[in-house]
Structure 1
């Protein structure tokens, strides 16, 4: 993060470029978060299926 003084010293072009960089970073982090949530959901579903399979097998025995 830049300090207030650093931002104040920047030209309009520099500020626009910096804002665009921050937007790109925000989008990237959002995509990473969505991918992590999707991975967690898939992993959780697989674990639940495994638990159900083990429970069903144990009931058969």
Structure 2
């Protein structure tokens, strides 16, 4: 698993979906994007990059356009 292999223990960005097929499509698209675009997406949702897992009860989707 990616998170174990690369010692990922922070959550900076997430998206919610209604069903698993949407998730698979989004993940495939996301993997093709350049790092700079992914960082821009994270900054739009989480500008100061705190670990979102620490404040899981906040509504981060309200920050998205």
TM-score (normalizing by structure 1): 0.34
Q: From the two aligned structures, give the one with the greater helix fraction.
A: 1
Which structure is larger by alpha-carbon Rg, 1 or 2?
Answer: 1
| Structure number with higher relative contact order (C-alpha < 8 Å, ≥ 6 residues apart) | 2
